[in-house]
Chains A and B, each alone.
Chain A
Amino acid sequence: MEGSVLVIGGGIAGIQTSLDLTELGFKVYLVERNPSIGGRMAQLDKTFPTNDCSLCILAPKMVEVFRNPNIKLMTYHEVKKVSGEPGNFSAIILKKPRYVDETKCKGCGDCAIKCPKIEVPNLFDMKLGKRKSAYIPFPQAVPPIYLIDPELCLKINKGVCGVCAKVCQAEAIDFEQKPMEIELKVGAIVVATGFDIPAEKLTSRWGYRYNNVVSALEYERILCASGPFGGHVLRPSDQKEPEKIAFIQCAGSRDLHEGVPYCSSVCCMYTAKEAIITKEHSNRSQCFVFRHDIRAYGKNFYEFTQRAQKEYGVKYIQTKISKIEEDSETNDLIIHYENLKTGEFNDFQANLVVLATPLVPSNGTKILSNVLGIELDEYEFFKEIDYFNKSKSTKDGIYLCGFCQGPMDIPETVADASGVAGQIAAFLNSVKFEQIKEKQLEVPELETKDTDEPRIGVLICHCGINIGKYVHVPLLAEYVRTLPNVVHCEDNLYSCSSDSQSRIKELITNHHLNRFIVASCTPRTHEALFQETCQEVGLNKYLFEMVNIRDQCSWVHMDDAEAATQKAKDLIRMAIAKSRLLKPLREELLKITPTALIIGGGIAGMSAALNIANQGFKTFIVEKESILGGNLNYLNVLYPTEQNASDFLNQTIDLVEKNENIQVFLKGKINNIRGYVGNYVVTIADSNSKTQDLSIGTIIVATGGKEYKPKDLFQYNNQNKNVITQLELEQILKEKGKSWLTKINRITTVLCANARQLEGITYCSNICCGNSIKNISLLKKLKPELEIVVLYRDIQMAKKKYEEYYRERRKDAIFLRYDLENLLIIKQINKNPERYNIKFYDTNLQDFLEFETDLIILSTPIIPADNLEELAKMLKVPLDRNGFFLEAHVKLRPLDFATDGIFLCGCAQWPKNIQDSISQANGAAARASRFLSAKEITTSGIVAEVDPINCIGCGKCESICPYNAIDILESVKDFEDISLTVKKSFINSALCKGCGTCAATCPNGAISIKQYDFDQITAMIESYLLET
């Protein structure tokens, strides 16, 4: 078995799974066919529903991949051949020529500046922008290495030019590069190849051929500040600001005839986001959304679409589009459509049209499936081996995550990606850490005392001509040499090159330096490198300081060399002022107890436990009921597989009970949780109320949810036996035969009962539509002559295969649409047998309808489990306003809490179906077992510190700390004539991230952040103000 994994695709899915895999103990080869990782997410402007800048939240992860010594980043590579067996695959990877030597290129961009202005459309900007032959796909690309387009390059094509080679001071240009094949041995393979958005394949009626009709991804680039129009919303034909913008939903999706049959699942949300951002760009713009159903089923999604309408005035029109044509004079678009509310056919004139076109498996999926020998499904997404285990492909040892296996949004992708890492960790458990490099420092650290005279060395980087052309570096070096405590200063071409690292070490040793400064580019990508260099000759890494004289200096002051040089002087002088006060900091090693606690024994909790236990860690499940299984115990049949729920559940319970590493506490209760990541002590009361303390490393919250009982709504009460909830129906179907249906002829299912309202429960519960639709056909099978009416508002069947599942059952029932403005009126008209009259406003008919029914099934939302406040308090983690647990970041950390060591999955986070619960459970298990696998973790030296003398115990720091790293402890202090209870703040350095919020909040200045303390910051400010 090989302790390494091949990850194919460097989008957010591939990135997340790679990062998790290395932390779980595996070497990763990350192959990406494009020149940069980042994938589609890097192209987005912002992300819903928080409107975070997409690249801003993604870029740190990209950089993390770049810096990770256990990820071999292979961009501009393609997988050509795979052979071998699970655990021992052999892969041939094609390295495409960049014509730039990756080992030499510093990403300075001098080649691109000088490259002649022959341009082609830039693919990253969806062909809206241009690039030259020598290029980098986007400024934040990872790796930050340029490449040359051989088709455009004059040197390669015609043997002339070659100016890039002349200007490249790193001598990285290599026109002789040839394609190369590399062979890799890996234990497992992850496919994360994402999606394409081929708008050009749409049929002509969508009008994509017109200049001012763009796909949604093109529009993302138009919105983006770094996009082709610099963040101004302009239309392509005349680069004028459009006033009326039409967003067309389902342009080619959910289309059984012309486009793709499935729902692309993310369009409703990104459209609401794009409309909101458009309005934020310009208040004059008017946004119209030509919608079908609104599918906003994720956490806070439905509310987001409501906000778009209420707060931003985006108009939603329920329509069917017949065709889009261009007005050839104005280049405006005429949309011919049917208004589904009024039944009228209308024309709408828009300045710009944005199409929510289908998202399809990325180009090349079919070839890759052949290379890997795995199957595709009917839509050419990769096929999972089992519906409820969606991360496994049809071949052992090859895993799937992200959009390549079906439509999903970013949080789901991230959860899946972690889940795959967890599954692989269990699969390759025996070879964990075999191929992981862990750097051992051979040189003992030099002792630096506070009293030692600072001896500072400074290295100033030209960064090719990036800095050197705009900042007068030799003058700068001369100036720096005059500053107090500077023992040595020199400049060089690239401070990041490997010979520069040797030079830094030489300087530190020869000049007996006890501080070092590099003035160059951004610490984001390079600080760790220089710190490591310092450590290699025994200098504590916190005695290194970096100054960015490129991004915020030479780049922004290109037109004023003198000012840029002056600013660089100021910046370096300030860094020296700080450097004098730097102290060597210690990083502590923290032992991790290799055990996990899972709170909740439903399907999510059991799946998480199985994953962790299969990685060889002792796992405890605490379940409050007397049986495992949670809500699954009440279910009859599972959709869309139509599997028997009990069979499915019993299989899982069987696995849990047979697993030696799992111990279950039924009727268990958690009484107390103390400690922190790796070192929790949890007091558990078992079924006999006997308590015991468990030593726990990490905790997963899988407390599930429950069905809302709509007391007194729609005649639901104790007396009326024929008004039931969907879950009650499941139980009846499970327990009784068909005899109970003998007297029932017409059944009415009410969707969104007490959900998606303006007040109270405002959200969509995601699973009710699927569940109700499943039961239609079950009922119909039991009694074919039954008449079933479904009253719905929007149908949320957004997953792969759901559209067809829904369409098939649509013929079994009458679907009627109501809206929130005119709620149903249900009256009982007969007691025995029970009979009801339902009056409602049919939005399709535009009129009130009345009918009678024998049985009413209410689809009510899922609400959080009981007593979560108490648990949240013990765990010190937050709940959201709906009472579900609040994750660290809705987009990129869906399974983590902000507090290290605690994770969540399943309905504890948000209502979700079984497939997603299991996928999340695997993800949470992976996130949690990263700590368990590591055995010990290193805390950062940059943490907050309390001065107990100044601390007045006011508790402001405790309440504001985002990581729950602060406790206020009480002690009694005796004074001459009085004893006083004194409170003091204590900061747990294992949990502290050094963010500094506490230090800024402390009214008494009792908290300081090491490496950024008040003295150091003041010294920098004083140096700037007083020494100019």
Chain B
Amino acid sequence: MEKIYEPELRNLLKKCYQCGRCSGVCQLSKVQKYTPSKIIQLILEGFENKVLESGELWDCLTCNQCLKDCPVKINFADIVRMARYKMRHEKNQSSDEFVAHKGIYTTISEIMSRPYINPDRNMDWIPKNCKISDKGDILYYVGCLPFFNYEFENLNSIAISTLKLIYQIEKKPIVVFKEEICCGHDIYWGQGKLKTFIKLAKKNLEKFKNAGVRTIVTACAECYRTFKIDYANIFDEFDENFEVKHIIDYIYENWKSQKIEFKNPNKSEKEIQFTYHDPCRLSRFLPENDNITNKVREIFREFKYLGYQFNEMAHNKENSLCCGVNSWMNCNEKSKALRYKRMQEAKLAGSKLITSCPKCNIHLTCLQNDFEDLASIEILDFSEFIINHVKVIRTKSKGD
């Protein structure tokens, strides 16, 4: 617990010299009154109680835009996460009124954290020609997609595409857990239920070990960040035991090592314009040496030969605009305004919008129901976008 929680919030803020950049760049502040710098100052001055009691920290998007621009690298989102824990446990506040979909998804996560609960997940989506196993060295960690599919349409196709990609390349059964549980991301960031998060993490670690997994591949930006950074933070030697890869990473590596190439058998005359929405968890939330933002662009540039023209949106990479909702928190008209801004940028950049976070996908797709002028944009996951353009290169076996 001490690894992820500092009871004295001001200890984390001491470097602040009130330059106010955080409040200037705060994406939320564009749609409602929100001033991180003021909150920081209040805490530093000893008014932490007042801040917590006001409940305003439930509003934060935890998009990390402020961290990106902070000269002394104060991690405000992390403060919010810990503050939420305090608000819940010390101030007896509930996040219920801020959670969308009546909190069903976070409730599912919470249920899965219990030691005796092992979900029996629907495996019907697994394509017939993909073999899976419950032990092995490569794990495809599916995430919440099959649960979302009850409420949102066609999200299985992300899981199907991803599993197909991995199986094509590996040509051996891939581990997919029938009893897969939640990574805990939303509980950790949105709900401030840090102890529940630890329970989930321990349970997951156990499962990884039992299955003999070495590499964990996921198509979800949130799962990726959670394993790669947060689990590694909690568990010693997590890094040594497991290699965590986002599907972008995974494809990039295989492409670079010439195991796969990109082809388009149905290349059309007219170039298709497309753009890419960087999820915060794959940009601002990763260490600077983690080059996913650049890797994905390198792949997309290659797609030029496949009849696709990649265009950047006005805000991109570390500066990309937020999808509006984090951890199922605060779906409201302000969040819609944020999404609308993002979609307006996307509309100018192409007819397809690629993202690599299923939640960004859900939130942006949802907005299309409200605004006819946005309905024409096709929103695709990275895996869905490339699935038909990946060809495995057959090298001659040397008979080892």
Instruction: Contact check, B31 vs A975: say whether CB atoms are below 8 A apart.
Output: yes
A975 CB contact (under 8 Å) in B30, B370, B371: B30
* A976 and B31 contact, Cβ closer than 8 Å, known pairs A952-B331, A952-B333, A982-B333: yes
Which residues of chain B are near A973, meaning CB under 8 Å?
A: 333, 337
Instruction: Contact check, A982 vs B336: say whether CB atoms are below 8 A apart.
Output: yes
* A1005 and B97 contact, Cβ closer than 8 Å, known pairs A973-B333, A975-B334: yes
A952 CB contact (under 8 Å) in B31, B96, B99, B336: B336
A1004 CB contact (under 8 Å) in B31, B100, B151, B370: B100
Q: How far is the CB of A310 from chain B (nearest CB, A)?
A: 31
Which residues of chain A are near B341, meaning CB under 8 Å?
A: 977-978
| B3-35 contacts to A (CB < 8 Å) | 29-31
Determine whether A983 belongs to the interface, using a CB cutoff of 8 Å to chain B. Answer: yes
Instruction: Contact check, B331 vs A1004: say whether CB atoms are below 8 A apart.
Output: yes
Instruction: Contact check, B101 vs A978: say whether CB atoms are below 8 A apart.
Output: no
Q: Which residue of A lies closest to B32 (CB)?
A: A975
Determine whether B369 belongs to the interface, using a CB cutoff of 8 Å to chain A. Answer: yes
Instruction: Contact check, A1003 vs B333: say whether CB atoms are below 8 A apart.
Output: no
Instruction: Contact check, B100 vs A977: say whether CB atoms are below 8 A apart.
Output: no
* A1003 and B336 contact, Cβ closer than 8 Å, known pairs A975-B30, A976-B31, A983-B370: no
A978 CB contact (under 8 Å) in B96, B340, B369: B340
A980 CB contact (under 8 Å) in B100, B103, B333: B333
Which residues of chain B are near A978, meaning CB under 8 Å?
A: 30-31, 337, 340-341, 344
Interface 1/0s, chain A 998-1009, versus B by CB < 8 A?
Answer: 000011110000
Which residues of chain B are near A1002, meaning CB under 8 Å?
A: 102
Which residues of chain A are near B344, meaning CB under 8 Å?
A: 978
Determine whether A949 belongs to the interface, using a CB cutoff of 8 Å to chain B. Answer: yes
Q: Which residue of A lies closest to B336 (CB)?
A: A980
Instruction: Contact check, B369 vs A954: say whether CB atoms are below 8 A apart.
Output: yes
Which residues of chain B are near A980, meaning CB under 8 Å?
A: 333, 336-337, 340
* A975 and B337 contact, Cβ closer than 8 Å, known pairs A950-B332, A954-B369, A983-B370: yes
Q: How far is the CB of B332 from chain A (nearest CB, A)?
A: 6
Instruction: Contact check, B332 vs A977: say whether CB atoms are below 8 A apart.
Output: no
Q: How far is the CB of A544 from chain B (nearest CB, A)?
A: 28
Which residues of chain A are near B332, meaning CB under 8 Å?
A: 949-950, 952, 1004
Q: Given the complex of chains A and B, what is the CA–CA distance between A978 and B336 in angstroms? A: 11
Determine whether A594 belongs to the interface, using a CB cutoff of 8 Å to chain B. Answer: no
Determine whether A454 belongs to the interface, using a CB cutoff of 8 Å to chain B. Answer: no
Instruction: Contact check, A1004 vs B101: say whether CB atoms are below 8 A apart.
Output: yes
Q: Which residue of B lies closest to A977 (CB)?
A: B30
Q: Which residue of A lies closest to B99 (CB)?
A: A1005
Instruction: Contact check, B30 vs A1003: say whether CB atoms are below 8 A apart.
Output: no
Q: Given the complex of chains A and B, what is the CA–CA distance between A982 and B370 in angstroms? A: 9
| A964-995 contacts to B (CB < 8 Å) | 973, 975-978, 980-983
Which residues of chain A are near B340, meaning CB under 8 Å?
A: 978, 980
B30 CB contact (under 8 Å) in A952, A976, A1005: A976
Q: Given the complex of chains A and B, what is the CA–CA distance between A981 and B151 in angstroms? A: 25
Q: Given the complex of chains A and B, what is the CA–CA distance between A850 and B333 in angstroms? A: 73
Instruction: Contact check, A1003 vs B100: say whether CB atoms are below 8 A apart.
Output: yes
Which residues of chain A are near B103, meaning CB under 8 Å?
A: 1005
Which residues of chain B are near A976, meaning CB under 8 Å?
A: 29-31
Which residues of chain A are near B30, meaning CB under 8 Å?
A: 975-978
Q: Given the complex of chains A and B, what is the CA–CA distance between A949 and B371 in angstroms? A: 20
Determine whether A953 belongs to the interface, using a CB cutoff of 8 Å to chain B. Answer: yes
Q: How far is the CB of A388 from chain B (nearest CB, A)?
A: 53
Q: Given the complex of chains A and B, what is the CA–CA distance between A980 and B151 in angstroms? A: 26
Q: How far is the CB of A1025 from chain B (nearest CB, A)?
A: 15
Interface 1/0s, chain B 182-193, versus A by CB < 8 A?
Answer: 000000000000
Chain A: number of interface residues, binned into ranges: 10 to 19
Q: Given the complex of chains A and B, what is the CA–CA distance between A953 and B337 in angstroms? A: 13
B101 CB contact (under 8 Å) in A949, A982, A983, A1003: A1003
Which residues of chain A are near B336, meaning CB under 8 Å?
A: 952, 980, 982
Interface 1/0s, chain B 323-358, versus A by CB < 8 A?
Answer: 000000001111011001100100000000000000
Instruction: Contact check, B102 vs A1005: say whether CB atoms are below 8 A apart.
Output: yes
Instruction: Contact check, B337 vs A950: say whether CB atoms are below 8 A apart.
Output: no
Q: Which residue of B lies closest to A955 (CB)?
A: B369
Q: Given the complex of chains A and B, what is the CA–CA distance between A980 and B343 in angstroms? A: 13
Q: Given the complex of chains A and B, what is the CA–CA distance between A1002 and B370 in angstroms? A: 16
Q: How far is the CB of B149 from chain A (nearest CB, A)?
A: 15
Instruction: Contact check, A1005 vs B96: say whether CB atoms are below 8 A apart.
Output: yes
Q: Which residue of B lies closest to A1005 (CB)?
A: B102
Which residues of chain B are near A977, meaning CB under 8 Å?
A: 30, 341
Q: Given the complex of chains A and B, what is the CA–CA distance between A133 and B337 in angstroms? A: 74
Q: How far is the CB of B265 from chain A (nearest CB, A)?
A: 40
- Scoring B333, B337, B344, B371 by chain A CB atoms within 10 A of each residue's CB, the highest score goes to B333
Instruction: Contact check, B97 vs A950: say whether CB atoms are below 8 A apart.
Output: yes
Q: Given the complex of chains A and B, what is the CA–CA distance between A949 and B97 in angstroms? A: 10
Q: Given the complex of chains A and B, what is the CA–CA distance between A1004 and B100 in angstroms? A: 5
Q: Which residue of B lies closest to A999 (CB)?
A: B102
Which residues of chain B are near A983, meaning CB under 8 Å?
A: 370
Q: Given the complex of chains A and B, what is the CA–CA distance between A976 and B369 in angstroms? A: 23
Which residues of chain B are near A949, meaning CB under 8 Å?
A: 332
Q: Given the complex of chains A and B, what is the CA–CA distance between A96 and B334 in angstroms? A: 71
Q: Which residue of B lies closest to A982 (CB)?
A: B333
- Scoring A952, A977, A983 by chain B CB atoms within 10 A of each residue's CB, the highest score goes to A952
Instruction: Contact check, A953 vs B97: say whether CB atoms are below 8 A apart.
Output: no
Q: Given the complex of chains A and B, what is the CA–CA distance between A1005 and B151 in angstroms? A: 15
| B354-397 contacts to A (CB < 8 Å) | 369-371
Q: How far is the CB of B261 from chain A (nearest CB, A)?
A: 42
Interface 1/0s, chain A 52-72, versus B by CB < 8 A?
Answer: 000000000000000000000
Q: Which residue of B lies closest to A970 (CB)?
A: B370
Q: How far is the CB of A929 from chain B (nearest CB, A)?
A: 43
Q: Given the complex of chains A and B, what is the CA–CA distance between A982 and B371 in angstroms? A: 10
Which residues of chain B are near A953, meaning CB under 8 Å?
A: 333, 370
Q: Given the complex of chains A and B, what is the CA–CA distance between A950 and B30 in angstroms? A: 19
| A388-402 contacts to B (CB < 8 Å) | none
Which residues of chain A are near B369, meaning CB under 8 Å?
A: 954
Which residues of chain A are near B101, meaning CB under 8 Å?
A: 1003-1004
Q: How far is the CB of B319 from chain A (nearest CB, A)?
A: 15
Q: How far is the CB of A998 from chain B (nearest CB, A)?
A: 13
Which residues of chain B are near A1004, meaning CB under 8 Å?
A: 100-102, 331-332
Q: Given the complex of chains A and B, what is the CA–CA distance between A41 and B257 in angstroms? A: 80
Q: Given the complex of chains A and B, what is the CA–CA distance between A975 and B337 in angstroms? A: 8
| B145-189 contacts to A (CB < 8 Å) | 151
Q: Given the complex of chains A and B, what is the CA–CA distance between A973 and B333 in angstroms? A: 9
| B101-145 contacts to A (CB < 8 Å) | 101-103
Q: How far is the CB of A949 from chain B (nearest CB, A)?
A: 7
Which residues of chain A are near B96, meaning CB under 8 Å?
A: 1005
Q: Given the complex of chains A and B, what is the CA–CA distance between A973 and B103 in angstroms? A: 27
Which residues of chain A are near B102, meaning CB under 8 Å?
A: 1002-1005
Which residues of chain A are near B100, meaning CB under 8 Å?
A: 1003-1004
Q: How far is the CB of A955 from chain B (nearest CB, A)?
A: 8
| A691-716 contacts to B (CB < 8 Å) | none
Q: How far is the CB of A584 from chain B (nearest CB, A)?
A: 23
Q: Which residue of A lies closest to B344 (CB)?
A: A978
Q: How far is the CB of B31 from chain A (nearest CB, A)?
A: 5
- Scoring B30, B332, B340 by chain A CB atoms within 10 A of each residue's CB, the highest score goes to B332
Q: Given the complex of chains A and B, what is the CA–CA distance between A531 and B99 in angstroms? A: 37
Interface 1/0s, chain A 726-738, versus B by CB < 8 A?
Answer: 0000000000000
Q: Which residue of A lies closest to B104 (CB)?
A: A1003
Additional pairs, 18, CB under 8 Å, beyond known A975-B337, A1004-B100 = A949-B332, A953-B370, A975-B30, A975-B31, A976-B29, A976-B30, A976-B31, A977-B341, A978-B30, A978-B337, A978-B344, A980-B333, A980-B336, A980-B340, A981-B370, A1003-B100, A1003-B151, A1004-B331
Q: What are 9 inter-chain pairs, A to B, with CB distance below 8 A?
A: A952-B331, A952-B332, A976-B31, A980-B337, A982-B336, A983-B370, A1003-B100, A1004-B101, A1005-B97
10 tightest CB-CB pairs across the interface, nearest first? A976-B30, A975-B31, A975-B337, A982-B333, A1003-B101, A980-B337, A1005-B102, A1004-B100, A978-B337, A978-B341
